[in-house]
Amino acid sequence: MTDTLATITQIKNTRTFILELVKDLSIEQLNKIPAGFNNNIIWNIAHLTAAQQNMCYVRSGLAITVKDEHFSPFLSGTKPEKLIEQKEIDSIFEVLLNNMDRLAADYSSGAFLKFDPWDKRYGMKLNSIEDAINFIPFHEGMHIGYIMALKKLV
């Protein structure tokens, strides 16, 4: 349990880094989709929350802990459909950090009683909530790369 909680703390620290990386970008820059890309910086950031909710809560048969507006529009296979304004950007940033505290609390309380195994396209099989939580840093590392590439183009 201690290792998994340490991983959750690591994820939150990484997310703090991401927010620091984009803090000076305008609404237009966060929403811009450069040529050759399917999405933008704000979609990538919101996707981190949606993916974590999907991997941890949905795969465990639990209800998501964020509003659907922070979930469905940002799942894998989706792309930005509208300009995201400052109020929603602020909400996305807040949820990005706060849902890690909720995940830690739910994990510590034993909320994750089951898990539907999942073969990820990266050659990894997630068999437990611990596997899902341990996969998150890999997934978020990929998206940090996308965010950094997008930042150079906006």
Three-state secondary structure of 46-102: HHHHHHHHHHHHHCCCCCCCCCHHHCHHHCCCCCCCCCCCHHHHHHHHHHHHHHHHH
Number of compact structural domains in the chain: 1
Distance (Å, whole) CA 144 – CA 126: 22
pLDDT score, position 46:
98
Question: Tens place of pLDDT for every residue, the chain, 154 residues?
Answer: 789 999 999 999 999 999 999 999 999 999 999 999 999 999 999 999 999 999 999 999 999 999 999 999 999 999 999 999 999 999 999 999 999 999 999 999 999 999 999 887 777 899 999 999 999 999 999 999 999 999 999 9
Q: What is the pLDDT of residues 39-75, one digit of tens each?
A: 999 999 999 999 999 999 999 999 999 999 999 999 9
Q: What is the pTM of this model?
A: 0.94
Distance (Å, whole) CA 137 – CA 153: 24
pLDDT score, position 124:
81
pLDDT score, position 120:
72
Q: Containing domain of residue 46, as a range?
A: 2-153
Judge whether 91 and 46 are in contact, CB under 8 Å. no
Indicate which CATH number applies to the domain containing 39. 1.20.120.450
Place of tokens 């990929």: 142
